[in-house]
Chains A and B, each alone.
Chain A
Amino acid sequence: MPIPFTCIEACDLSEDGKSELRLYGASGTRLFVQSSSGASAVWPEEADVRNDEENGEGPPGKRVKLSDPVENTSNFSCLTITNDKKHLVAVTAEDKCIRVFSIDSECRIKQLSERCMARRPCAICVTADDSLILCADKFGDVYSLPLIPSPEDEQQPAAPEQADVPEESSFVPSASVLTVHSGRNRKVLEAQLKQAKKGPKKPKEAPTFKHDLLLGHVSMLTDIAYAVVDKRSYIITADRDEHVRVSRGPPQAHIIEDFCHGHEAFISRLCVVGQDLLVSGGGDPDLFVWDWLHYKLLQKLPIRNAVFEFMRAQTDLASTLPEDVSSFKVAVSGIWSVPHAQSDVKEILVACEGVPALFSFNVGSSSTTGQAIALSGNALDVTFVQAGTESTCTAIVSVDNAHMPGSTTEIRKDESAVRLHFFSPQSDGQWTQAAGAVQQAFEGLGGSADKPTTNAKALHNILYGVENLRKRPGSDD
Chain B
Amino acid sequence: MPGEPAKRLKREEYKNALHSEENKAELPKKRFYRQRAHANPFSDHSLQYPRSPADMDWASYYPAYAVNKEIEMTEGESHDHDQQQPAPTPHGPISKQVEIADIGCGYGGLLFALAPKFPETLILGMEIRTAVTEYVQEKVRALRTQHLSTNSYQNASCIRANTMKFLPNFFKKGQLSKIFLCFPDPHFKQRKHKARIVSYTLNSEYAYVLKPGGVVYTITDVEDLHKWMVGHLERHPSFERLNEEEEKSDECVEIMRMETEEGKKVTRNGGNKYVACFRRIEDPPWP
Contacts and interface: CB of A to CB of B under 8 A. Distances in A.
B155 to A, nearest CB: 26
Interface stretch (A27-35, A45-53, A256-264): A256-264
Interface in B66-95: none
Interface stretch (A67-75, A178-186, A376-384, A412-420): A178-186
B286 A232 contact: yes
B16 interface: no
Contacts of B224: 172, 174-175
Nearest to B227: A166
B235 interface: yes
A410 B224 CA distance: 53
A176 B52 CA distance: 42
Contacts of A139: 194
Interface in B242-287: 262, 265-266, 269-272, 283-284, 286-287
B188 to A, nearest CB: 4
A44 to B, nearest CB: 34
Contact of A185 (B186, B271, B284): B186
A255 B44 CA distance: 26
Contact of B186 (A175, A243, A261, A474): A175
Interface string A211-252: 001011111000000000001100000000111010110011
B173 interface: yes
Given A139-B194, A178-B269, A473 B168 contact: no
A90 B95 CA distance: 52
Interface residues of A, number: 51
Interface residues of B, number: 60
B45 A477 contact: yes
A331 B284 CA distance: 39
Interface stretch (B21-29, B31-39, B107-115, B137-145): B31-39
Contacts of B238: 254-255
Interface string A455-477: 00000000000000001111111
Nearest to B225: A174
Contact of A178 (B186, B203, B270): B270
A192 B188 CA distance: 9
29 contacts: A161-B200, A164-B235, A175-B186, A178-B266, A180-B262, A180-B265, A182-B36, A182-B37, A184-B36, A192-B188, A215-B201, A216-B199, A216-B204, A217-B165, A218-B42, A241-B165, A242-B51, A243-B168, A256-B173, A256-B204, A258-B208, A259-B52, A261-B53, A261-B54, A262-B51, A263-B51, A264-B51, A475-B46, A477-B40
Interface of B: 36-46, 51-55, 164-166, 168-169, 173, 183, 186, 188-190, 193-194, 199-205, 207-208, 221-225, 231-232, 235-238, 262, 265-266, 269-272, 283-284, 286-287
Top 8 A-B residue pairs of the complex, sorted by shortest distance between their CB atoms:
A216-B201, A261-B52, A178-B271, A182-B37, A174-B224, A256-B208, A218-B164, A188-B188
Given A139-B194, A218-B165, A263-B51, 6 more contacts: A180-B183, A182-B37, A232-B286, A254-B203, A256-B173, A477-B45
Interface of A: 139-141, 161, 164-165, 172, 174-176, 178-180, 182, 184-185, 188-189, 192, 213, 215-219, 231-232, 241-243, 245, 247-248, 251-252, 254-256, 258-259, 261-264, 471-477
